[in-house]
Amino acid sequence: MVGRKLLANNPLLNYFALRFHKEPPVLVLHIGTHKTGTSTLQSVLTRAAPRLAERGVSYVAAGRENRIAHHPLAWGLRGRYSTGMEVWEGARAEINASTAPIQVLSTEGFWYEDPAEVKRQLAFAGEVRIVAYLRRQDAFLQSLYKQAVSSGRKTNFQDWLSEFGYRGDYLTVIDRWADAFGRDAIVVRPYERGSSTIDVVDDFFALVGLDPADTIADIKRGSHNPSPRRELLYFLRAFNQLNLKINYDKLFYSVIGRNKAYVRSADLLTHEECVSVLARYAESNARLAERYWKGEGPLFGQPPRRDLPPMWTPEDPEFFQLAVDVLDGVVKLVAPGGPGTGAVRKKRKPQAPAP
């Protein structure tokens, strides 16, 4: 079952694949983080679940409640969205009844929860592995901020960073998971390798011993959690100030669906600013790599040197069309009986909450 073509020349992945195929069965908890291809991975796991089961990997159905990820399990821990702890009962029952060598739970919502409580709710007798994909903080925080604005946040980036910069402290969170499940249970995977990001789907499938080319070659992946380019972000933040009775998610997706150029990641900071942000976490990143990164070298490299893309100006036809598309999206949402009327919803329920 192990994807030998992928693993033969990769001792690290081979190590985890061998560990994952030990007895007793292994439960893999994919805990995020946000903005590391989690939604894409979860979508593929959902659509490929029958094939995975044939190959000994169970993407647990209970606790997803017909969603692509196990967000309800995280919500239940704090009663979010009227979700009670009974959601864990079905997950425990399915996990304990399964004969699959590998079982998978996936939600980035676990990242913000108490690992000790997650362990208590699982009551799992086999081995547990905690898989966390970590993005270089300068890129991660830009992307996380954009998601927050797309869901209704009003503050500018620097103010938001002052309040939520602690989200870049990965070490504190990973240490808590290690305290609950043991240091050997932690599987840290850097989202950037060199100057580009990895394919999280391929990487995760290799970790659990599956060859993506054999399992999911015909499944379209796409982008499930895009970020708005700077110009669109400013429009969105401006509308957030008005407390409009619209569904912010519908507005965002209605606009980016009109032009793929409206989507762009990590375009808020200059190279020098990225280096400065990353330097804030240099010490904790070094300790994180020493304790948990079983690869070679540092967990993250320096941000690649590149200039910020130029912004559209009001004189540019692209800016004018963006303004038209945004206004058209708002008008359609606030029209009587339109699809976006009703109470403002600041967070996407199918996704784990953003700060």
* Sequential DSSP letters for 150-211: HTT--S-HHHHHHHHGGGG-HHHHHHHHHHHH-GGGEEEEESEETTEE--HHHHHHHHTT--
Reported confidence tier of residue 2, pLDDT bands at 50, 70, 90: very low
Alpha carbon 35 to its chain's center: 4
- For 282-304, give the DSSP string: HHHHHHHHHHH--SSS-SS-PPP
**Lowest-pLDDT choice from 65-79, 128-142, 296-310:** 296-310
What is residue 57's three-state secondary structure? strand
Contact 127, 18 (CB under 8 A): no
pLDDT tens for 255-304 read 999 999 999 988 999 999 999 999 999 999 999 999 999 766 789 999 98
| Overall average pLDDT of the 297-317 stretch | 91
What is residue 105's three-state secondary structure? strand
**Which among 111, 74, 151 is positioned nearest to 344, based on CA atoms?**
151
| Overall average pLDDT of the 249-256 stretch | 91
Is residue 4 scored above 60 in pLDDT?
no
What pLDDT score was predicted for residue 221?
81
**Which among 77, 156, 137 is positioned nearest to 109, based on CA atoms?**
77
Virtual torsion, Cα 110, 114, 146, 224, nearest 10 deg: 0
What pLDDT score was predicted for residue 125?
82
Is residue 228 scored above 70 in pLDDT?
yes
| Overall average pLDDT of the 341-345 stretch | 46
All structural domains of the chain, each given as residue ranges with its CATH number in brackets, are 4-136+169-215 (3.40.50)
pLDDT tens for 186-210 read 999 999 987 788 999 999 999 999 9
What pLDDT score was predicted for residue 93?
95
What pLDDT score was predicted for residue 15?
45
Virtual torsion, Cα 231, 39, 200, 17, nearest 10 deg: 170
164 Rama class: left (phi>0) / alpha (psi -120 to 50) / beta: alpha
Reported confidence tier of residue 7, pLDDT bands at 50, 70, 90: very low
* Percent of the residues in the chain that have a pLDDT greater than 90, as a whole number: 72
Residue whose token pair is 């946000």: 34
Supply the mean pLDDT for the chain.
88
Is residue 245 scored above 80 in pLDDT?
no
Which residues, 6 or more positions from 35, have their beta carbon under 8 angstroms from its beta carbon?
Answer: 135, 140, 143, 144, 147, 225, 227
Is residue 354 scored above 70 in pLDDT?
no
Give the residue with greater pLDDT, 224 vs 176.
Answer: 176
